[in-house]
Every structure is written in structure tokens, then in C-alpha cells.
Amino acid sequence: MEAPTIPLVMATHETPTMYMPVVPLPTPAPSPEPSTPPPLQSINVLSSPSYYHQPCDFSLLSPQHRRQFLSSIIAQCAPNELAFIYSTVANLLRRDFLRDLPPELAVYVLGFIDDPRTLCRAACVSKYWSQLVEDEWPWRSLCQSHGFELPTAGYKRHFRMEYITLSNWRTNGTLLRAHRVPLISIMNPPPTVDNLLNLTGSPPPPRDPSTSSAIPTSLALDNDWVVVGLANSRIHVFNAKTGVLGRTLVGHSNGVWAVSLVKGSGEFTPACAEDEVRRDIDATDSATDEPSNRLHKSLRRALGLDSPSQYDPENAEYPGLPSDPAGSSLGWGQPSSLIVSGGCDKELRVWDVKSGYCIYVLRGHVSTIRCLKVLHRRPIAVSGSRDCTVRVWDVQRGKLLRVLEGHDSSVRSLDVCGNRVVSASYDTTCRLWDVDTGECLHVLRGHYHQVYSVAFDGVRIASGGMDTTVRVWDAETGVCLALLQGHTALVTLLQLTPTVLVTGGSDGRVITFSLTHRTSSPVPDSDAASLVPPSTSQPSFSVIQKLAAHDSTVTSLQLDDRFLVTAGNDGRVRLFSFDQASGKCEYVRELSEPSESVWKVGFVRGCCAVMCKRAGKTVMELWRFRPKGY
């Protein structure tokens, strides 16, 4: 463009006009405005790869524009690309909240987990979480929430053992052994232990096969040993952890009707206890027949006579512990486990489990010993006999302490708690005795027929018999608290717990009764009513549940805090789960294959022993529920 010209007028007339260019003044530039990005709709992401490599540009955007930008990218992604974005974002969003807490607080938080599977999954999250889960506090909390007894240490190992054990009870178990013994044995028994102790070496005369029936009559067990008394006068001792038949105790000259297992402290464990006993016998002067002279060094150690922790009768404590329904009792500090047995030969025998030798032969009864109990933490055994007496023995020193007389007929059943014992007799009465003084504290009258079973927990006494009723008595006053009905035949089995009474009868029924307290009228019975003061506050037992457990007589019944196990002549062994809160039982499964009949069943948490008949033979099944390594 050309610059405009302005004419220049001259003073003369003839001079021509001249034009000069005029340059315009420059115009000031406008003030700069803030830069604004172009709208996102105009951004071509595919044609601008620099956005993938310059995150600083993205950081300059506002939060709203960031979301719009990300939405535009996600909208153009393929499914596999979206999966990549999802996995990347998920990892970035993870936050280890436990690592942000102090370790003590993090472990405390894990203690609120009540499902062991959740706790085990937590250990797989990271190494740090695994270290937290290894702490004992969460496992201690799990033991408490599941009702497991707290050990002194090793809560995780203890919980694992108890949890797997309970699962095995409900689902399956390991059959360790199934020992089969002919019901009639024609073999001569080996020499008796008395012959070995007396060094005579002469075998006994042949035995009449008709008296050699291998029917189980009694059973006692703990976590280490299973002891079975047989009608052929023998006692079998099995290892509860392996199921192996460890010993056959021979010494009784007739059937064994009662056995009791006394737990040892396990301090005395020689490499071969039997060889050591035999060496002591060879070194012992056998010229005299005095039992104290024949009691050699090894067996004295087994009894705790040469131990500083031996029982002191002058300073004895009497813990009010009821008897164990499995037939075992807590020892008094002796190193070895012991067995006390009695039977048709009228003798009480004390055996060393490790060596299998008979320590004492205690005589005094003049008829069959029908029942037997050993007190907890004391070397005191109490036996009941068909000679109508109850006898108290010192099984550590091998002597009779006192004879409890008063019954007019055979003593059929016994139960003990603390330093008191209850005896049930065919004379229709029960008696409560003081073991230390021999005094009869109460005579419990009310049954109309023979009394077959009795249970005692230190507070209440339950008795059942031929009249199909169960009576409950106050142990302090001897008053009849309740008359319980529901069975239609002989009541053969009873067990008392702090909240529930369980009964079993020949009618195949198992009945559970609850223990409550309310103000009630006397028992509606002429004999019992005279014993109960009117309008007193007393326990009243109501039926919780009636179980048609078996088609014939209930032969075994045992209850603990989780399970009820019953057995019957119908050949069934049944497991029920037990709810302590409601007192109800729910059928779970059959513990063993059906058989012709079941004689005895006993269990502890780790194992169960089943004595049954199959194909004309006595079968002794030992089941284990503990996991391997425990």
C-alpha cells in the first residue's frame, strides 16, 4: 500500500504542485489477554502423541478438565486396554492401613478376627501382615472366642490342634487299630504276675474255656492310655496315640468288672521298665512274703514313694473335683501312670502301666467287686462290692483304710467328688459317705426298686434304677429335690454337669434335663414329701429333650462341653453336638460302622474307644481325632 500524499502549494503561480508522503503515527498494541487452552473437543489426541509423554501438560489442567480429558481417553480404549487401566489403578489405590498403625495396635486390631480362615488369608497379603499374624495375641483371642482352654504358651499351635480336632469329630477320624479277639478263648493264659514276683515260675493250671469270655466289662482312658477290663480276667492296655496293644495285664483269677486309670506326671521313663523291674526282683530278697519287702525299687518310684512330691496325708488338700466320666483320675504326683482294678476274684490290684507289673494285691472283700473309683490328687481308691460294703484303700502304700458298712444288699454303683463318695445299692437306697472319717452323712431313701446308677457333682446327687425314675438329691441336706420321669424301663446311665443332667435307659431313650431354680412345692410322693420342707426355693428339673437314640438298651453315654456320644445294644454309636446355652443335642453322624452290639464307648477330646461285637468276635476300635504331629 502506498502512503498518502499531501499537495504543497507554492507562492509562484506557474510553479507546479509537489506532493510529499505522510507516514501515519503507529497505533499502540492492545494489552495482552490471559491465554486460554483450546476446547477439549478440538484436541486431537491421536494426532498429538506429545500428551502421552508430557504429564506436566496434564498437571496444568483444572480438575474438571482433567476428568473430561480422562473420559475422552477411556472412551477410545479397547477392552484389553481398559483391563490394563483397571489393574494399574487398583494397585495404585491399595493402602496398607495396618502398616500405618503402630505394630502393637495393628496386632490388637487383628485380635478382633473370630474366623481362623480369615486370619490365615490375612497372612497371605504381605510379608508384613504375615509377621503380624504370627504374633500370639490374635490366636489367643481366637482360643477365647471358640471356648478352647488357654494353654500356658503356644496359642497358635494349640488353636490349630483344637480346631482341627473338632472338625475331625464332625466329619471323620482316623481308625488307628481294630483289635479282634474271639469271644471264647481256648488258650491257657501266661504265668501270673504273682508268680513272677514270688519267683516261683510255675504256670497256673489250665482254665475252663467256658469262663474265658472276652467280653469288655469296664473301660478307662486318657490322652495316653486306653484300659479295657475283660470278663476273661485280663486287662488290655492300649497306646491312645498309636492304637498299639502295649500290655496285657494278667493276675486276676476271674472276670474284671471295674478299672480306673490314674494319670502320672511322666517323670519316670526308663528305656525298658520291665527289664529294670526284673533286675530289681533278682536283687530283692524273696525269702519273706511281706508285701513291703517284695515292693522293689522301680515300683516304689512308680508309686511316688521315693519322690519328694509324694502324697502327705497330714497336709492333704481335698479339691472338690467330680469324677471323670472317662474313668481316669488326676494323680498325686507319682511318676508313672497306674491302673486299679477289681473283679470277681474279690481282689483289688494296683498295676504299673509302663512295666505291666502288679504292685499290690489288696484283699478284704468277700464277694465280687462291682464298682471302683479313685479320688483326684489323692492315692485313695473306693470300691463297692456284692458283700454290701464300701471299702477305702490307700493304693500308694497298699493297705485298707476303712470299711463303710450300712447297705443291706449289693453295692452296684459309686461316684466321688472331693473327699465324699456316694454309693448306690440294690437295697433301694443311696448313701453319702465321708471318705476320711468313714461317717455316713446321709441315707437317701425314695426309690421303690434296686438302684443301678448314681452321679455326684459335689452339690447334687442323681440316682436311677429299676423303678424307671430318676431322683435328684441335695448333697448338703440329703433332701430329695426332684422326681424325674420319662423313661419306661431301667435307668442305667447318668451324668451330671453344672447345667444339665443326662440319663440313658434300657428303653433306648436319652433324656436331658435342665437345672433351674424356682419356688416349688414338695415332691408329689409320700416318702419324698416327708423329706422336703413345704414352699421352699429349690432346683426344679425340666425336660429339655428326649432323644430316641437307640432301638434297645443304651449301654454307654458320655457328655462333654461340645459333644454327646451314645452307644446301644442295637450296634450303633452316635455322635450329637451339644449346645451348652440351650442344653439341646443335635444328631451329627455315626461314629463307627454298625455292629451286632456295642458294650462300651469312652472318649476324651483326642481319641475314642469303641468296644463292640462283630462276626462273633470282640472288636476294640481306637479312633484318633488329633491332627498329625500332636
pLDDT digits (tens, 9 = 90+) for 27-45: 555 555 554 554 544 444 4
Residue 588 lies in a domain: yes
Q: Dihedral sign, CA of 147, 320, 424, 325? A: positive
Residues 142 and 235 grouped into a single domain: no
| Gyration radius of the chain's alpha carbons | 43
> What three-state secondary structure class fits 170?
helix
- The percent of residues above 90 in pLDDT, for the chain, comes to 50
Domain total for the chain?
Answer: 3
Give the residue-averaged pLDDT of 15-33: 53
pLDDT at residue 551, as a whole number: 92
Contacts for 585 with CB less than 8 Å, ≥ 6 apart? 510, 512, 545, 547, 564, 576, 577, 578, 579
Is the pLDDT confidence value at 563 over 70? Answer: yes
Same domain, 245 and 184: yes
| 390 and 282 housed in the same domain | yes
Task: Output the domain CATH number for residue 620.
Answer: 2.40.10
CATH number of the domain residue 240 falls in: 2.40.128.630
CA–centroid distance for 468 within its chain? 32
Inside any domain, residue 69: no
Confidence of residue 534 (pLDDT cuts 50, 70, 90): very low
Task: Report the CATH number that the domain containing residue 141 is assigned in CATH.
Answer: 1.20.1280.50
pLDDT for 248? 93
Last residue of a domain, one of 370, 405, 440: 405
Query: How confident is the model at residue 20, as a pLDDT?
Result: 53
**Residue 532 located in a structural domain:** no
Q: What are phi and psi of 120, to 5 degrees?
A: -70, -35
Q: Do 246 and 302 lie in a common domain?
A: yes
Last residue of a domain, one of 166, 197, 220: 166
Residue 335 corresponds to which amino acid? P
Check residue 103 and give its pLDDT.
84
Indicate if 346 and 227 belong to the same structural domain. yes
pLDDT > 80? residue 107: yes
pTM score of the predicted model: 0.76
Is the same domain home to 145 and 291? no
In a domain, 530, yes or no: no
Q: Are residues 227 and 346 in the same domain?
A: yes
Q: Does residue 261 belong to any structural domain of this protein?
A: yes
Residues 112 and 250 in one domain: no
The set of cell numbers assigned to 109 is 486390631
CA 502, CA 400: separation in Å to the nearest integer? 34
Does one domain contain both 241 and 351? yes
Containing structural domain, residue 627: 555-630
**Is residue 153 in some structural domain?**
yes
Question: Is 267 within a domain?
Answer: yes
Has residue 161 been placed in a domain?
Answer: yes
Which residues, other chains included, contact 258 with Cβ-Cβ below 8 Å and sequence gap of 6+?
A: 217, 218, 229, 341, 342, 343, 369, 370, 371, 372, 383
Instruction: Single out the residue in 371, 386, 405 at which a domain terminates.
Output: 405
Number of Cβ atoms within 10 Å of the Cβ of 482: 22
Q: Same domain for 146 and 263?
A: no
| Range in 74-88, 257-271, 471-485, 569-583 with the lowest mean pLDDT | 257-271
Looking at the structure, tell me whether residues 161 and 201 fall in a common domain: no
> How far, in Å, CA of 335 to CA of 235, rounded?
21
- Average pLDDT on 359-388 reads 95
What is the rounded distance in angstroms from the CA atom of residue 601 to the CA atom of residue 558?
8
Q: Are 210 and 158 members of one domain? A: no
Please, are residues 404 and 392 in contact by the beta-carbon 8 Å criterion? yes
